[in-house]
Structure 1
């Protein structure tokens, strides 16, 4: 049985520290419509998302056009870097990717974030065998999930990851067979 998961990194958002309610920027709204154009050509059975608004907005056009309800999955929300804003994001993110066990106070290590994300992937593979699934998510957690299955998806890959981005993960049972980039533009 082949199950396909389309991981969708959200489109560009307008920054606020409110992770749950941050919305897409005008540029992000346009890009989300391109995501809809791509995904509605696939035979999608289920649509899920992180509970963060920007991830939902990126895939809600797809759900609407396919007449699907969006199921929310807490475990595919973005990784928690720290309980307080970090002074230098680039230095902080480099540090956690450099040591998968390290976590800032109140934050998640790469292993912790990866574990929760992959757990959800395995749950979906169990529930939706032989179906196609869209998951609206975020860059860091998305790459950590992909990294679990294929170490080529690492920090340098994350640094170049587009916003939005769609990656098609094809599984036979619970074994990853391939990862394919779906061009958004």
Structure 2
């Protein structure tokens, strides 16, 4: 069985690539570390978006356990548009209604799911990986989750927390199961 822990990063100071965690985010990263430590699982792989807020979210756990964080560009946050837009929330909602919808220079939900599924396939195909942690961003993860839970949409994206953890379990010849396992009281 493959167990993939999908983590939305902790609270950060902004949205740009190099936005660090806030003080609250640093505290949340320590809580994430405690959460994974309490699971008492040996992780074979930690993959993260190359964005600083994602790396800093899992860094305390990785350092405490002598694990390497590998970054993967395919896990970076979705590009909604290359140009600033006033009604970005409306555009984002449209992308949950129409997975082919995209703005100039932006990615459709279909594009985002394709690149995140490439990462998933690599993990599924690697027999040395049973337990993995993936750290990414809310927009990417929401569209990724939708394929396992069709009810996961714009409303659920708005309800995601910083951080949040979902467990994706896959047994051979069985459909994958997705469930939220993060308890707000832990953060």
Q: TM-score when scaled to structure 2?
A: 0.91
Inter-partner Cα distance in structure 1 for 2:172 and 2:25: 34
Inter-partner Cα distance in structure 1 for 2:137 and 2:65: 22
Give the C-alpha shift of residue 115 in structure 1.
0.9
Inter-partner Cα distance in structure 2 for 1:177 and 1:68: 26
1:24 counterpart (21, 33, 38): 21
Sort the Cα spacing of 1:142 and 1:128 in 2 relative to 1 into closer, same or farther, 3 A: farther
| Aligned Cα root-mean-square deviation (Å) | 1.6
Structure 2, unpaired ranges of 5+: none
Give the C-alpha shift of residue 15 in structure 1.
1.3
Match of 2:12 in 1: 13
Structure 1, unpaired ranges of 5+: none
Count of aligned positions = 182
Inter-partner Cα distance in structure 2 for 1:23 and 1:150: 31
Sort the Cα spacing of 1:113 and 1:178 in 2 relative to 1 into closer, same or farther, 3 A: closer
1:95 and 2:106 are equivalent in the alignment: no
Inter-partner Cα distance in structure 2 for 1:153 and 1:94: 12
SS in 2 for 1:167: strand
Sort the Cα spacing of 1:65 and 1:121 in 2 relative to 1 into closer, same or farther, 3 A: same
Q: TM-score when scaled to structure 1?
A: 0.91
Contact 2:96–2:143 under 8 Å retained in 1: no
Match of 1:181 in 2: 181
Contact 1:3–1:128 under 8 Å retained in 2: no
